[in-house]
Amino acid sequence: MQEVGSILVVVTPKQPEQLALKRAKLIASVTKSHLHLLVCDKQGQYADLLTDTARQLVDEGYSVSTEQAWSNSYHETIIQVQQEKSCGLVVKQHFPENPLKRALLTPDDWKLLRYCPCPVLIAKTNRPWSEGNILAAVDVGNSGAEHRALHTSLIENAFAVAAIAHAQLHVFTAHPAPMLSAADPTFQLRETIEARYREQAAAFVKEFELSNEQMHIKEGPADVLIPKMAKELDAVVTIIGTVARTGLSGALIGNTAEAVLDAVETDVIVVKPQNVAEHLESLLQK
């Protein structure tokens, strides 16, 4: 996050709050990143809006460029521009989908999180980040190479966000409930599951130079507990990640992240390890 050279800001006409621009300005004020403003529009009718916004940002000391574009769909337009401009971060405001529409069609924000190679910040609230709590959700129980790469990417971004916002970083991991049918006896008893996760959490704390007070562990499904933890901590940002799967599904984010996006009352940042980003970029180049 600290080394992002250019930020793609999705500007939504007729939305006076422009939360995405507010968050992008906060980050760019620290990282000195260039801001590329994008309106996803088929008609190209928002030139005046972009010109006025860009002029104001330049007056405030930001480096700015603008663009109106459309390519097949909303999320495809964003990703195409992100690739063309080599943006290291996409910032977009969240707009809740109609429940019926969401039941029939995959929400645009979900598609963006699934297929965008770089980190995506979904702005959901107008709450200030300054001196708030940042929540990073990890799975310390999974020590596979992909998850280790994801943890590194996630924690690096979390530290960067905390530094930008002068905020306090907290890390959360959920461990499963006992399963009598589990092949591994460790997962058949609550005590052994919790002991294993606490041991792995202690190793995680040491590896990433955290304090014990920054690590939180609870039993249950992650998609349910992450929003509860965010509320308990009164977090302003929740950071979650995804890892690759095999074949075409390597482009998919897990259902946990999508459920968390809808459930938390915080801004959300989704990050991917390098191998997932490279996989997605290779798909886009075909």
Q: Give the architecture (CATH level 2) of 133-285.
A: 3-Layer(aba) Sandwich (3.40)
**Is it the case that residue 254 has pLDDT exceeding 80?**
no
pLDDT band at residue 247 using 50, 70 and 90 as cut-offs? very low
pLDDT at 250 (0 to 100): 36
**Is it the case that residue 238 has pLDDT exceeding 60?**
yes
**Residue ranges of the chain assigned to CATH 3.40.50.12370:** 6-123, 133-285
pLDDT at 212 (0 to 100): 94
pLDDT at 83 (0 to 100): 94
Taking residues 202-206, report their average pLDDT.
Answer: 94
pLDDT at 107 (0 to 100): 77
**Is it the case that residue 280 has pLDDT exceeding 50?**
yes
Chain mean pLDDT for the chain = 85
CATH topology assigned to domain 6-123 = Rossmann fold (3.40.50)
pLDDT at 72 (0 to 100): 87
pTM: 0.88
Worst-scoring range by mean pLDDT, 70-84, 137-151, 165-179? Answer: 137-151
SS (H, E, C) the chain: CCCCCEEEEECCCCCCCCHHHHHHHHHHHHHCCEEEEEEECCCCCCHHHHHHHHHHHHHCCCCEEEEEECECEHHHHHHHHHHHCCCCEEEEECCCCCHHHHHHCCCHHHHHHHHCCCCEEEECCCCCCCCCEEEEEECCCCCCHHHHHHHHHHHHHHHHHHHHHCCEEEEEEEECCCCCCCCCHHHHCHHHHHHHHHHHHHHHHHHCCCCHHHEEEEECCHHHHHHHHHHHHCEEEEEEECCCCCHHHHHCCCHHHHHHHHHCCCEEEEECCHHHHHHHHHHHHC
pLDDT band at residue 248 using 50, 70 and 90 as cut-offs? very low
